[in-house]
Structure 1
Amino acid sequence: MDLSQIKITQANLSEELERSYATLSQLCGQKVDTVEIALPMGKIESIGLYEEALKHNFGYRAKEAQLQAAHAQLKQAKLDYYPDVTIQMGYSRRESFNDYWSAGINIPLPIYGTESVKEQIGQAKVQERNHDKEATYLQLESSMRQKYAQMHKTLEVWNVVHDESLPQLNHMFELTEASIRNGEDLFRFTELLKQKLQLELQQSRAVSGFYSARAQLDLLVGKEQ
């Protein structure tokens, strides 16, 4: 690409940029002449905090409530299985007999076959609910660790681009910009500019990925925003 073509491309890009700003201003209802924004990277909290908060997940708490209900049903089934012994006292008086007291013991006898089946069903239900609760926790923990790893990955990418790649490229960019003399130098400058824009795009995607993963992680553990 010679110098003339570069100038033509630059003019086309400038026109496209102005058109984009005009469209954006119309959509926003106010004049927009720049879209430069700061994209600070957030901090990662300890994974232990997320592990502690994981039990606040709505799905996990629902499973926990179901397990408690199953325990209550099992307890009632056991109470129904064992009879309640009651003592009855009474006093009787008749004209032809002396007054006397009577005492008796009342033992209701349940149908043991039926009550035993109820207790077995209750125990099976408790085991099932406990398994569901543990399986739900393991699934949530796995998802939590995946999101946490994604946060670390995006943070590492951001650190490499922000602390290493961009400073080096910016230095080369400044040196080339200051020494442009011909079309070849301008072409090299253009290539460096493209590389810089690509790195800035990677940096923006890293920030976006970080906050997306953190939002999903906070939602997973039931953390209030």
Structure 2
Amino acid sequence: MVKGSRYRYVLAAWVLWLVLGVGHGAVSRVWAQAPNAGLPPDLQALIAESLKANAEVKQMASLAGAAKETIKSAGALEDPTVSFGMTNIPTDTWRLNQDPMTQKMLELSQKFPFPGKRRLRSEVAAEQAKSDDLAYRDKANEIRAKVVIDYWSLALAYAGFDIVQKNKQFWEQVVQVTETRYKVGQGMQADVLQAQVELGNYLDRLFQWKQRQESLQANLNALRGKPPQTPVGRPQPLNPRPVTLKLDDLLTQAEVRPQLQALKALVAKQQKAVDLAKKDYFPDATVSLGYAFRETLGPPVNMKQADMFAGGVMFNLPIWQASKIKPRIREEQERQAAAQETVHNTWNQLAAAIKDRHGKLMRLAQQITLYNQGIVPQARQAVEASLASYQVGSLGFERLYQNQIAVYNAELTMREYLKDFEENWAELEWLVGAELPRPSGGKP
């Protein structure tokens, strides 16, 4: 008897589950360019390595992946509930086979949201996932820009070191010449002392450029997830390049920048959230199915009783509209308005930044041309003739000093302009969200 009852319980549970599954289906149907082109190969390798190993990029990628996983679960049904209970048990004997109304109840229930709610929940999650994925892409572009900027800054550090080294060698010659002229009575001791001071200044500048190289190498290692002391090869030299970019084209390209598209996805998400909040005006349904087990009545009746089946549908009543539903709708509408303003403000700032970087590129291109074709060659010619003239006494020490300082400042300034040019170019690529064509240039 006990064994037969156990089979009845198991069979009833399976029947309820299958029936509820069929009901679920029925209700659902009713309610339901080559990358980094033009960059030096070593810089391309650094970028690729950084995009794979950078902690910020990996973090954003994980968040984007997590957001994608929420899409299905957001639109899924709630877990069904199962309950077991006993009713109508006489308290005089506590026997289950005394009264024909005594029952052991097994009940399954499932909540079904109003048609459209599950779809909207999935769409809200999908727009959030889209926004997170675009934010991840923008972070990757940001890290790429940082790598490019640090690379060319490191190139400047090496170029500055070389310029100082060359000028140090020049002043070593000047010290020898001033000492020789002083010994033969043709020069002044003040010239010797000033030449020695200048030589010491260039030694100090060598230390500064060396320290800057080490700092920038550590920055590049941090971006690619390596220890700070990991060796970084010497970058390619900075060379002038023409500017062929048009502001209107850049602004058009920036309209599809991942950051801007991510914010627009949040606007779309809030529109879906508003639609979802309006669905709260409509009730959800909870379908329940039950099976009641009854024991064979005891003596003197000794009658076998049939089990019983029950089913029902329950609806919630969305009557608290003024205090619950309408405030939530207004909340989502305000969030949508805020998201739209964020897009508008971000675009204004983005357009201003693009115009600023484009203007700087145009200005730097002109300055580089001026220094590369005019100031630097002229300064070099002047200093080359100065030392020979000073040796024979036809040029004073002060004039020699001025010519040498002029060529040093001119060469260093031009390298700084070249670095600033590449820095603004990298920032511009990040701002528009795409790589820009890089025409080749000449040598400084």
Is TM > 0.5 for Structure 1 vs Structure 2?
Answer: yes
TM category (shorter chain) comes to 0.5 to 0.7
| 1:201-220: CA deviation from partner (whole Å, max 9, x where unpaired) | 11011111111222222223
**Cα distance, 1:51 vs structure 2:** 1.6
User: SS where residue 42 of structure 1 aligns?
Assistant: coil
TM-score, length-scaled by structure 1: 0.63
Structure with more contact order per residue of length (Cα contacts < 8 Å, sep ≥ 6): 1
Q: Does 1:155 align with 2:155?
A: no
Q: What are the within-5 Å matches in structure 2 for residues 1-225 of structure 1?
A: 3-4=181-182, 9=195, 13=199, 38-44=237-243, 45-81=245-281, 110-111=318-319, 112-113=321-322, 114-173=324-383, 176=386, 182-185=392-395, 187=397, 188-224=399-435
The answer (yes or no) to whether the contact 2:361–2:424 under 8 Å persists in 1 is yes
Q: Aligned equivalents of 2:405 and 2:280: distance in 1?
A: 79
Q: Aligned equivalents of 2:419 and 2:390: distance in 1?
A: 36
CA gap of 1:169–1:224, structure 2 versus 1, over 3 A, is: closer
The answer (yes or no) to whether the contact 2:379–2:410 under 8 Å persists in 1 is no
Which is worse superposed, 55-64 or 189-198?
55-64
Which structure has the larger Rg over C-alpha atoms? 2
Q: Aligned equivalents of 1:39 and 1:121: distance in 2?
A: 54
Structure with greater helix share of residues: 1
| 1:182-212: CA deviation from partner (whole Å, max 9, x where unpaired) | 3342633443222111111110111111112
CA gap of 1:136–1:38, structure 2 versus 1, over 3 A, is: closer
Q: Which runs of 5+ in 1 are unaligned?
A: 28-34, 84-107
- Of all paired residues, the percent bearing the same amino acid is 20
The answer (yes or no) to whether the contact 1:81–1:116 under 8 Å persists in 2 is no
Cα RMSD (Å): 3.9
**Cα distance, 1:66 vs structure 2:** 1.2
**Cα distance, 1:39 vs structure 2:** 3.0
CA gap of 1:38–1:62, structure 2 versus 1, over 3 A, is: closer
**Cα distance, 1:69 vs structure 2:** 0.6
Q: Aligned equivalents of 1:135 and 1:174: distance in 2?
A: 55
Equivalent position amino acid for 2:271 in 1:
H
CA gap of 1:74–1:186, structure 2 versus 1, over 3 A, is: same
CA gap of 1:70–1:161, structure 2 versus 1, over 3 A, is: same
**Cα distance, 1:70 vs structure 2:** 0.3
Runs of 4+ in 1 over 6 A off after TM superposition: none
**Cα distance, 1:139 vs structure 2:** 1.9
Q: Aligned equivalents of 1:183 and 1:198: distance in 2?
A: 25
Equivalenced residue count is 186
User: SS where residue 185 of structure 1 aligns?
Assistant: coil
**Cα distance, 1:130 vs structure 2:** 0.5
